[in-house]
């Protein structure tokens, strides 16, 4: 099978876009990430309000990685093969965003633990239907010279969307809502309102991108190639298998980085609020005022590190161009690792904003630089399927974390969420070391060529 080499992507003569065109293209990512921010900040508290056990929390987060593992590579491969009046990618992230809005509408009204877990499956499936076609859409539109700007702008909208998601409950309190008002299941009214706001943002932001940014029309040759491909589910699965078998070396090496990176981030998101409850408010009782205060503090800290990510994403563009995405990413991950290791030792709320700077730098890099490295090593006609497979390197570490952390939470981590946050910091430092071993696309291709000759 012949493929267009990634080194020839610049020869496709895509027009360079203005900064504001790239911004409009990525606005839809704001709504997607507002939804993810609500999940990161609110799902563990919601589960606790509904009676979940601390050691079992990872199991209740299974929805995201499982749906990502199944949905994203399939949707990515399907979007590579789709021919419609709206384009290849647009139908997927439009439908996904609308389903995401419905999931956000119903989530805060969960009556039982398993209702919340089930809705999270629906919400994550919708987000995953949206995510990789959206990333492929950005790669489709941009010349290789603008990949760093495009994906780091996407990272900036990740920071902005999640900043507002984390901060919304505190803003609602400032606007006059009672922080202690709860429903019959102890879910605060400010959390319910935040999810309703997220439902609106999810739909409106995607509609803005669709209004301002159109896909590049396929050429007659591309249309012929797509239409000549075998149709059906078996052909789609075969395409995924072939893509995995022919995976570029750079992509394989990034899988090791993401194993440490995403295992650590999942640990942090699941247990940071519980850690703050103990270190700052001396409580783990979900019915106590201190527990709700910990939720607000976590929202403020999460908003701050995402704001740092929003600012840093643009600041990282010239740095990435100067020293490369690999070194930039290693430095940012190291900052986050040191920050997470320090958090359990801090007992003054104001001082917690200092380590959030390191976490914000890493979050900006996580959502941008690995995709800069990826986009330079994959063939253009397989962008969708490889973006979907690349997401497997996010969700597989999460699944491993879900099924392993409960096994040693009490025995090795003393049943203490503070130790989970420390573990997350150590893992991010391991990810920083692993990324220094990743070969660039050019050197990886040279090594692959030498191996075949």
3-state secondary structure of 188: strand
pLDDT value of residue 8: 38
Whether residue 42 is predicted with pLDDT greater than 90 in this model: the reply is no
| pLDDT value at residue 430 | 97
Residues whose CB is less than 8 angstroms from the CB of residue 183 and which lie 6 or more positions away in sequence, other chains included: 189, 192
DSSP of 330-384, one letter per residue?
Answer: HHHHHHHHHHHHHGGG--SGGGGHHHHHHHHHHHHHHTTHHHHHHHTTS-GGGHH
Kindly state the percentage of the chain with pLDDT values over 70: 91
Q: What is the pLDDT of residue 440?
A: 64
pTM value surpassing 0.75 = no
Distances (CA, A) of 277 to 181, 264, 290, 292, 297: 19, 20, 7, 9, 9
Q: Any residues with CB less than 8 A from the CB of 91 and at least 6 apart, and which?
A: 82, 84
Predicted local confidence at residue 337, as pLDDT: 98
Contact residues for 394 (Cβ-Cβ < 8 A; gap 6+): 65, 68, 258, 262
Please indicate whether residue 386 or residue 290 has the higher confidence score (pLDDT).
290
User: To the nearest whole number, what is the mean pLDDT of the chain?
Assistant: 84
pLDDT at 23 over 60: yes
User: What distance in Å separates the CA atoms of residue 294 and residue 98, rounded to the nearest whole number?
Assistant: 32
200 vs 185: CA distance, rounded Å: 24
Least confident residue range of 144-148, 316-320, 326-330, 361-365: 144-148
C-beta pairs of 227-233 under 8 Å, 24+ apart in sequence:
227/83, 229/81, 231/81
The answer on pLDDT for 136 being more than 70 is yes
pLDDT beyond 50 at 453: no
| Contact present, 410 and 87 (Cβ < 8 Å) | no
Predicted confidence (pLDDT) per residue in 64-96, tens digit: 788 777 777 777 677 777 777 777 787 887 888
């Amino acid at each position: 099978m012949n493929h267009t080499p990634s080194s020839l992507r610049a020869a496709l003569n895509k027009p360079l876009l203005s900064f504001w065109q790239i911004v409009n293209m990525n606005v839809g990512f704001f709504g997607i990430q507002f939804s993810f921010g609500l999940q990161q900040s609110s799902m563990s508290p919601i589960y606790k309000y509904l009676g979940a056990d601390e050691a079992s929390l990872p199991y209740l987060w299974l929805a995201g990685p499982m749906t990502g593992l199944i949905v994203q590579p399939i949707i990515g491969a399907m979007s590579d093969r789709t021919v419609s009046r709206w384009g290849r990618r647009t139908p997927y992230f439009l439908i996904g965003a609308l389903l995401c809005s419905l999931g956000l509408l119903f989530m805060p009204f969960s009556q039982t633990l398993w209702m919340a877990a089930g809705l999270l499956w629906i919400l994550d499936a919708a987000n995953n239907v949206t995510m990789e076609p959206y990333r492929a859409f950005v790669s489709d539109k941009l010349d290789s010279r603008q990949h760093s700007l495009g994906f780091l702008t996407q990272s900036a909208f990740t920071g902005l969307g999640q900043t507002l998601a984390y901060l919304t409950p505190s803003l609602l309190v400032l606007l006059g809502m009672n922080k202690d008002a709860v429903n019959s299941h102890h879910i605060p009214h400010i959390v319910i309102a935040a999810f309703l706001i997220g439902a609106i943002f999810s739909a409106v932001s995607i509609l803005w991108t669709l209004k301002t940014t159109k896909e590049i029309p396929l050429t007659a040759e591309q249309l012929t190639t797509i239409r000549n491909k075998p149709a059906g589910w078996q052909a789609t699965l075969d395409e995924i298998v072939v893509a995995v078998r022919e995976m570029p070396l750079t992509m394989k090496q990034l899988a090791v980085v993401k194993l440490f990176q995403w295992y650590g981030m999942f640990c942090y998101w699941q247990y940071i609020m519980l850690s703050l409850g103990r270190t700052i408010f001396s409580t783990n009782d979900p019915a106590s005022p201190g527990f709700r205060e910990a939720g607000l503090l976590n929202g403020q800290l999460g908003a701050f590190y995402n704001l740092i990510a929003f600012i840093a994403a643009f600041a990282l563009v010239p740095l990435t161009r100067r020293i490369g995405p690999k070194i930039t990413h290693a430095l940012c991950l190291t900052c986050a690792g040191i920050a997470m290791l320090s958090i359990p030792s801090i007992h003054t709320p104001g001082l917690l904003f200092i380590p959030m700077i390191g976490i914000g730098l890493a979050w900006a890099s996580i959502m941008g630089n690995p995709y800069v490295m990826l986009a330079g090593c994959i063939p253009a006609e397989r962008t969708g399927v490889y973006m979907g497979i690349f997401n497997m390197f996010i969700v597989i570490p999460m699944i491993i974390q879900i099924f392993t952390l409960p096994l040693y939470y009490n025995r090795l981590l003393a049943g203490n969420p503070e130790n989970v946050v420390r573990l997350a910091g150590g893992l991010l430092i391991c990810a920083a070391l692993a990324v220094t071993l990743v070969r660039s696309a050019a050197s990886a291709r040279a090594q692959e060529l030498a191996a075949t000759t």
